Structure 1
Amino acid sequence: MSITTRAAVIESGGAPFTLSEVVLDDPGPHEAVVRLVAAGLCHTDLGVASGGLPFPLPGVLGHEGAGVVESVGSAVTGVAPGDHVVLSFTSCGECRNCHGGHPAYCATWLPMNLIGGRRADGTSTISRDGEPLGGHFFGQSSFAERALVDERSLVKVDPRVPLTSIAPLGCGVQTGVGAVWNVLKPTTGSAVVVLGAGAVGLSAVMAAALTPATTIIAVDRVAERLELAQELGATHVVDTGEVALGEAIAEITGGQGADGIVETTGSTAVLRQGVDALGARGTLVVVGAPPFGTEVSLDVNGLLGGKRIVGLTLGDSETQTFIPALVELVKAGRLPLDRLIATYAFADIDQAVQDMTSGKTIKPVLTF
């Protein structure tokens, strides 16, 4: 039987979110119906809502959902009704990268998560007045009171941890943490630089503080965010409104340069400065996504000192093991996500968007 629910619909690129009654399709064998308790708002949602990506609109976005399973399809084995779940990206489970533990690099990742708006078989998960809407966003479309969720987007979590406090784990936090733990893997005494102190960048700072890196440099232009970065584990901060990035990193590292850099801003100018600030055999992880087709120029001879530039999707995480571990750290107070989160009632989604765009709120979480 189909379920009617209330969702935040983007009618066309650049339009605000409007609350609207929608109908969820019947769950397939590998899907579940989840009652949302909380959903994080991420820059990727805003990028798609602005019309910057070829996602079919009108549509329902949202990809940092957290809630309670209401019903499951006939083939679902990992969760049962009543389970608490964090929703993350989906993947095919069959390709080489999925089998290798790298589902963020699934062969079908783009259409299944970001731009397809449909299930893999082309059918729609959400409709309104009999017309299909863009849905299946990251296998979830969680800007709704109920969501039809792909089995591989579901991660069962400890029910003792409030869902509002862990909703952002599905995308932003996992991305920042994974950049540090899964790619940079800082060794004893290394210097890690985080470019941009938004939700992803501050997650990377918290992650770096849980490694043997001894120098953790947060870079931004907003004084309050740099203060927060220090409270979350940064040993140094750089305000690029006042000092040149390269000079600051050279001074802090005693001329060695950075061992690892996480670039979250999506600015090609910042990316280039970051690559130049790497030390020998240093690695820069590209997390921030500028518009499709954006290019950056690099000093080729500068790369010959063993520098590496690595692109990253969703922290290169295997969600079923990674997210429950992050939940444990939140529960123990070792990953203080609450410092980033401000909550908003679902009906106030446009206010949350405004506060995120203006920089007033680092990570808005909608509550249902």
Structure 2
Amino acid sequence: MAKMKSAVMLAPGRIVLEDVERPEVDDDHVIVQTAGIGVCGSNLHWWRGSGTATAYWPFPIRGGGGHEYGGVVVETGKNIRRVQPGDRVAIDLFHSASCGQCEYCAAGAFSHCAAAGQFVTPGFTEYLKLPEKGLHVLPDGIEPHLGSLIEPAATPVAALRRLGMRGGERVVVIGAGVLGLAAAGAAKALGAEKVVITAKYDHQAALAPRFGIDAVVRSGEDAVGERLLEEVGGGGADIVVETVGGNAPTLALAADVVRHRGTVIPLGLWDEPVPVDSWKSAFKEINYLFCLAYGQCGLKTDYRFTIDLMASGRLPLEALVTHELPLERIADAFDVAANKNSGSVKVVVRP
């Protein structure tokens, strides 16, 4: 059988390439040649050796944990009807792996399907074998490697769609990485009246105007909570989206700046369990909306909704890409993504 290159993360800070068998097409699957694979913030929890992350998914991690894909269909089975060779696609792995029969699939919550929950991501690799149901054909104007940006953006889009934004909301986004900038841009596209974001680094703050963000508060400032309340006005934010996680006390900050009966959406992943101020949460009657991933909301999947926003120019995800590295430099890609002093926002690996 033909071989291809695929990553394996052996330990924190150590990822290498290995030769594995290239998948072969069958009647019910397609082969996608990957054009771009994003280094996700969740990958960096393993890269840094987070105890919580490694307990959930121990080393060695075949594929290295990659799951943000854009690519080109190169082969199709005889039962495939919706895509054809040459199609440029973004890939929803949860939908691809879902059973299509359970109550969660019927509700469009593909990430909660037992089959999808047992799925192991193919990772940073040259070719993928997939059913067609999780493939989303990209419109003209979106290059195949940029299809990898749909996955990270689709989660904040999904959260805001589940919340049911009506327009006119005041929104605070904590953190100006990929999730934060995507969340802020999506909130604006969905009708938010005002969006304020916190940014730690100059290069993050510089991207804010591209996403329609009204004000930036630097996270290193004194009294960040007070500055956010001053900028967002109205007695606090209707919606606070937390995207930092790690070991930051940002969930407490979110509770401080959300208005009474407002909603906090925690999207960051913390290295260890974090406390919630139950007294403040009860007094303000804060709604907490956790969102693992994307699915289907109404007649359109979150993936397709995000693609449409990007294609329309209302969510310029391409602006997030600061570094592109070949698969042969996978370790460098992780180092750059983990070190924000490098100027990185989104690092895309190009097989």
Does TM, normalized by the shorter one, top 0.5?
Answer: yes
Give the number of the structure with larger relative contact order, counting CA–CA contacts within 8 Å between residues 6 or more apart: 2
Q: Distance in 2 between matches of 1:247 and 1:278?
A: 12
Amino acid in the other structure paired with 1:32: V
Identity %: 26
Query: Are the counterparts in 2 of residues 196 and 263 from structure 1 also a CA contact under 8 Å?
Result: yes
**TM-score, L = length of structure 1:** 0.82
Map of 1:86 onto structure 2: 90
Instruction: Determine helix, strand or coil for the equivalent of 2:11.
Output: coil
Higher mean alpha-carbon deviation, 228-237 vs 323-332, is at 323-332
Map of 1:22 onto structure 2: 20
Map of 1:6 onto structure 2: 5
Query: Are the counterparts in 2 of residues 102 and 316 from structure 1 also a CA contact under 8 Å?
Result: yes
Map of 1:35 onto structure 2: 33
Query: Are the counterparts in 2 of residues 186 and 192 from structure 1 also a CA contact under 8 Å?
Result: no
Amino acid in the other structure paired with 1:80: Q
Q: Residue 8 of structure 1: CA displacement?
A: 2.1
Q: Which runs of 5+ in 1 are unaligned?
A: 118-136
Query: Are the counterparts in 1 of residues 62 and 123 from structure 2 also a CA contact under 8 Å?
Result: no
Q: Distance in 1 between matches of 2:220 and 2:251?
A: 16
Amino acid in the other structure paired with 2:60: L
Map of 2:157 onto structure 1: 177
Map of 2:241 onto structure 1: 262
Amino acid in the other structure paired with 2:292: T
Query: Are the counterparts in 2 of residues 177 and 206 from structure 1 also a CA contact under 8 Å?
Result: no
Residues 38 and 254 (structure 1 numbering): CA distance in 2 closer, same or farther, change over 3 Å?
closer
Q: Distance in 2 between matches of 1:214 and 1:320?
A: 24
Amino acid in the other structure paired with 1:264: T
1:285 aligns with 2:265: yes
Q: Distance in 2 between matches of 1:81 and 1:188?
A: 40
Query: Are the counterparts in 1 of residues 6 and 17 from structure 2 also a CA contact under 8 Å?
Result: yes
Q: Residue 322 of structure 1: CA displacement?
A: 3.0
Residues 235 and 49 (structure 1 numbering): CA distance in 2 closer, same or farther, change over 3 Å?
same
Out of 54, 57, 76, the position equivalent to 1:72 is 76
**TM-score, L = length of structure 2:** 0.86
Q: Distance in 2 between matches of 1:104 and 1:14?
A: 26
Q: Residue 196 of structure 1: CA displacement?
A: 0.6
Name the count of aligned residue pairs: 337
Higher mean alpha-carbon deviation, 91-100 vs 312-321, is at 312-321
Map of 1:146 onto structure 2: 127
Map of 1:331 onto structure 2: 311
Map of 1:59 onto structure 2: 62
Q: Distance in 1 between matches of 2:205 and 2:59?
A: 38
Query: Are the counterparts in 1 of residues 69 and 145 from structure 2 also a CA contact under 8 Å?
Result: no
1:243 aligns with 2:222: yes
Out of 282, 302, 306, the position equivalent to 1:322 is 302
Q: Residue 348 of structure 1: CA displacement?
A: 2.2
Q: Residue 16 of structure 1: CA displacement?
A: 2.5
Residues 246 and 227 (structure 1 numbering): CA distance in 2 closer, same or farther, change over 3 Å?
same
Q: Residue 197 of structure 1: CA displacement?
A: 0.3
Map of 2:139 onto structure 1: 158
Query: Are the counterparts in 2 of residues 184 and 260 from structure 1 also a CA contact under 8 Å?
Result: no
Residues 245 and 31 (structure 1 numbering): CA distance in 2 closer, same or farther, change over 3 Å?
farther
Q: Distance in 2 between matches of 1:109 and 1:245?
A: 39
Query: Are the counterparts in 1 of residues 7 and 15 from structure 2 also a CA contact under 8 Å?
Result: yes
Instruction: Determine helix, strand or coil for the equivalent of 1:303.
Output: helix
Residues 87 and 48 (structure 1 numbering): CA distance in 2 closer, same or farther, change over 3 Å?
farther
Q: Which runs of 5+ in 2 are unaligned?
A: none
Amino acid in the other structure paired with 1:45: N
Higher mean alpha-carbon deviation, 238-247 vs 75-84, is at 75-84
Higher mean alpha-carbon deviation, 353-362 vs 23-32, is at 23-32
Instruction: Determine helix, strand or coil for the equivalent of 2:176.
Output: coil
Q: Residue 69 of structure 1: CA displacement?
A: 1.6
